[in-house]
């Protein structure tokens, strides 16, 4: 049975196989994705206990499931120049670097929550009004979650420039996936043969390095990752598999061509793994790697999908 329901600031999208739980007022995040597969039931998203947990501990718990915008990951010193003007982000810093954008904790409005009988869809909206002095450019955000019959959860973001000038912008998602066991029991496969070169501060140098380790799949036991990969062919099917071979459970990540980068992070607790679709590399406002420039009044759409199955 397919259903879409909004109750007490919580959206539930169901398709008979799974249930996606979305919190509009907490950054519009996907806080859970409950799976009912033959012989096993689990939550594929490592989220928050409740709204209070999100509001009090969202940053320290690693920005789980949050929307990364208008910049992604780290920005060196929280500073950039655009059109010969310097800016310094005010929002949040990890050490000396601003991280994960400005609107990750925004409260979204629910525009619709409905089903056409086969697909359950929720549409959320938020307007950023340029309130951070380090990014004074207003823009509108529309998020669409669509749960399809094949257990594919499609996430689409549409950004619209509301400023009277061209603006620099990037977009990303920051979900933490959990496939029953800890990360050490999982296997990662990515169709990427280049990795963004980082310096000691995990900021890009501007270069790319060859990387083939995950092309045919590799176990994650004792592997620590906080790396950004350039996908070989985004928009041409599955870009990444995360697998629990013991339970024959597999997550597929299928970004469109607007998300050419994939950031992967293994947190110290190793209960889950962050696999982040990004339009740009980290610090793109300074290094230009994938940075978008959106003219006044124009919009840009980005879509990725997640699918969980047994095989």
Q: How far is CA 14 from CA 169, 199, 219, 234, in A?
A: 33, 43, 32, 28
Q: What CATH number is associated with residue 282?
A: 2.70.98.10
- Over residues 191-237, the pLDDT tens digits come to 999 999 999 999 999 999 999 999 999 999 999 999 999 999 999 99
Domains of the chain: total: 1
pLDDT at 274 over 90: yes
- Over residues 117-126, the pLDDT tens digits come to 899 999 999 9
Residue 226 inside a domain? The answer is: no
- Give 242's contacts (C-beta < 8 A, 6+ positions apart): 177, 179, 186, 187, 188, 189, 250, 251, 253, 273, 275
158 lies in which domain range?
3-182+267-305
- Over residues 9-23, the pLDDT tens digits come to 999 999 989 999 999
The pLDDT of residue 106: 98
Residue 14 inside a domain? The answer is: yes
The pLDDT of residue 202: 93
Residue 221 inside a domain? The answer is: no
Residue 284 inside a domain? The answer is: yes
Residue 244 inside a domain? The answer is: no
- Over residues 7-57, the pLDDT tens digits come to 999 999 999 899 999 999 999 999 999 999 999 999 999 999 999 999 999
pLDDT at 77 over 90: yes
- Over residues 140-175, the pLDDT tens digits come to 999 999 999 999 999 999 999 999 999 999 999 999
- End-to-end CA gap in the chain: 23
Q: How far is CA 287 from CA 96, 150, 181, 183, 196, in A?
A: 17, 39, 37, 32, 12
Residue 239 inside a domain? The answer is: no
pTM, to two decimals:
0.96
Residue 231 inside a domain? The answer is: no
Q: How confident is the model at residue 183 (pLDDT cuts 50, 70, 90)?
A: very high
């Amino acid at each position: 049975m397919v259903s879409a329901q909004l109750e007490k600031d919580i959206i539930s999208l169901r398709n008979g196989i799974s249930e996606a739980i979305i919190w509009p007022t907490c950054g519009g995040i996907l806080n859970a994705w409950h799976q009912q597969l033959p012989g096993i039931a689990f939550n594929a998203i490592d989220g928050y206990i409740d709204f209070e947990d999100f509001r009090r501990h969202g940053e320290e718990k690693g920005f789980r499931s949050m929307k990364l915008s208008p910049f992604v990951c780290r920005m060196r010193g929280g500073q950039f120049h655009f059109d010969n003007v310097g800016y310094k982000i005010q929002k949040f810093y990890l050490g000396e670097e601003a991280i994960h954008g400005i609107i990750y904790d925004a409260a979204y409005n629910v525009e619709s929550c409905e089903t056409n009988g086969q697909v359950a869809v929720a549409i959320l909206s938020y307007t950023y009004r340029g309130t951070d002095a380090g990014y004074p450019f207003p823009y509108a955000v529309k998020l669409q979650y669509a749960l399809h019959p094949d257990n594919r959860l499609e996430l689409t973001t549409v950004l619209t420039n509301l400023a009277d000038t061209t603006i620099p912008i990037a977009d990303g998602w920051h979900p933490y996936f959990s496939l029953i066991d800890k990360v050490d029991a999982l296997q990662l496969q990515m169709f990427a043969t280049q990795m963004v070169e980082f310096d000691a501060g995990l900021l890009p140098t501007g270069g790319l390095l060859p990387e083939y380790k995950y092309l045919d799949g590799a176990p994650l036991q004792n592997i620590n990752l906080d790396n950004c990969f350039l996908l070989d062919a985004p928009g041409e099917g599955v870009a990444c598999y995360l697998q629990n071979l013991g339970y024959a459970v597999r997550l597929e990540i299928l970004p469109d061509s607007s998300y050419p980068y994939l950031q992967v992070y293994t947190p110290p607790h190793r209960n889950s793994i962050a696999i982040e679709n990004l339009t740009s590399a980290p610090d793109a406002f300074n290094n230009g790697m994938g940075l978008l420039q959106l003219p006044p009044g124009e919009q840009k759409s980005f879509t990725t999908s997640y699918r969980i199955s047994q095989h």
